[in-house]
Amino acid sequence: MGKNTKESKEIEKVQVQIQVQSVPDGGWGWSVCLAGFIAQFVVLGIQNNTGILYKALLEEFKQSKGETAWVLSIGLGMMFLFAPVTSAFCERVGCRVVAFVGGLLGVLGFVLSSFVNDIPKLYLTFGVLWGIGASMSYLPTLRSLPYWFERRISLANGIVTAGSGVGTIAMGPIMQLVVNNLGWANAARVLGGVLCICTIGSLLYRVPSQTEHKDEKAEEAAKPSRPPLFDFTVFKNKAFLVWCIALSAFMMGYFVPFVHLPAYAEECGIPNSQSSTLVGMMSVGSTFGRLLFGKLGDHPRVNRLYCFQMAMLLIGVADTLSTLTKSYAGLVVYMLVFGVFDGCFVVFLAVLCADIVGVDKVAAGIGIQFFFMAITSIAGPPLAGVIYDLAQSYQIAFYVAGACSTVATCLLFLVPVLMPKESYEGSSEEQPLDGIRSPDSLPTTSTKASLGSCNKLNSNLHLTASQSYLNRYWDMPKRASMRASMASLLSFSPLQPPKEVLVVVEKVSQV
């Protein structure tokens, strides 16, 4: 009598359908691009040419340069300082509402400022109201694009950010003309009217419509958890802490040319018609720099940190040498050089943050780094004004601005030393910024074995301290691609809506 066994297989199919929003890669998204172009044209056109308003305030209120510079500096700093809050508002109420309210706050700030008769009140009406309004008008220009574009995200970002370059070039002469003919008060009302265009254009913002699907067999739906707005665990990364301190030092002198260069040009005897175009020349150089370094950023032989340090250092050198010339041509050269390396600074700002903290923490990292940048950027131009009041010369102020860039450059040499060890061992180039890795990108057994052999070989070589540092410096990991990082700049939560996913699980049981 034999032992009978009976084996059966039971196959259970569980169908899980994740409801998400597809990316149209066009359609109404081009209208969103138009709204973003208009907003950047007006908002950054005004912000980058604040030096013209600075001269008008000096003539109108007859106060010291240091006290007057606080008005414009607060407006510039609040644009960065309020950015994480603006991003949270975009996530909860939508870009259209945020941009519309921001436009209204900007209009209100300029109109109220036109009736103010002393400087301290302008700190609130112009500095705070206009600064918050600028942040709420500017951030949705980048925050809304990933909902409409995926394959064409670089083109969409290029169209929108072109508004800042064109606006900086065009708004300078326009603002100078209005100030010369109408005076400060009426010029502020005119600029408030121009901001109404942004308010109307914000109505073009919307997200793609989502089609509801129901599956009777679906047993559960995966709902992604919303990450915290402020993730302070990034401070455990010492390299990131040094990175933030370096950016703070750099921003202390960054806005000095934006605010004080027109006044310095006037001191050199350059007429207003020419001095009003200087910041526009910087914008031309910045556009070229963004294109150049944006293309080079993903090249395997390009060290991003090295390029970033080079840009910081040369901006500092340009600030220092700018005092050697008093001609319009010399200042144009200064602005073009400043602009080219400013383009490098802007392009690498977000992607280097991702390289340092990792793609899973880039949202929190960018928000915190902009907070650090905002604090010192507010203090920089007033400090330059105080230095002028004491020395009666802009030379020392521009020397200090250049020194801040040099100090920041030196601090960045500590970043490779303080980077977590695992970032060098497990880094992978061109990972998407949503933190998801494809199965093909996961290390295989042979890859792990190779890495282990390499680590063992390195330990046997007994490298000196200088050699070890240089290896870390030149092998700075690339954990995010330049193309993908464009969508994350000034966006502090996951942006890209994933495509619809259908998962079928087969459960096999043996009896």
pLDDT score of 43: 93
- Give the rounded distance of the alpha carbon of 342 from its chain centre: 12
E strand or H helix at 163:
helix 153-201
> What ranges do the domains of the chain cover?
24-208, 231-420
Three-class DSSP category at 293: helix
- Both tokens of 325, joined, read 């010339």
- Both tokens of 115, joined, read 């009736």
Q: Where are the alpha helices (DSSP H) in 13-94?
A: 29-48, 50-61, 65-81, 83-93
Name the residue among 76, 275, 263 with its Cα closest to residue 172: 275
Q: Which CATH class is domain 231-420?
A: mainly alpha
Asked whether the domain spanning 231-420 has the same topology as the one spanning 24-208, the reply is: yes
Q: Which CATH class is domain 24-208?
A: mainly alpha
Q: Which residues contact 17 (CB under 8 A, 6 or more apart)?
A: 213, 215, 218, 221, 500, 501, 502, 503
Name the residue among 288, 283, 37, 51 with its Cα closest to residue 168: 283
pLDDT score of 231: 65
Please report the DSSP string for 473-505 in residue order: HHT----S-HHHHTTTTT--S---PPPPEEEEE
Name the residue among 129, 36, 43 with its Cα closest to residue 90: 36
pLDDT score of 16: 45
Q: Could you say which residues of the chain have pLDDT below 70?
A: 1-23, 154, 210-231, 298, 363, 422-511
- Both tokens of 331, joined, read 């200042």
- Both tokens of 175, joined, read 């603002």
What pLDDT digit, counting tens, does each position of 479-495 carry?
Answer: 555 554 544 444 444 34
Residue 199 to residue 192: CA distance in whole angstroms:
11
244-248: list long-range contacts, CB under 8 Å, 24+ apart. 244/368, 244/369, 244/372, 245/372, 245/411, 246/408, 246/409, 246/411, 246/412, 246/415, 247/369, 247/372, 247/373, 247/408, 248/372, 248/373, 248/375, 248/376
- How many alpha carbons fall within 13 Å on the CB side of residue 395? 8
- Residues 34, 37, 38, 40: what is their CA dihedral angle, to the nearest 10 degrees? 160
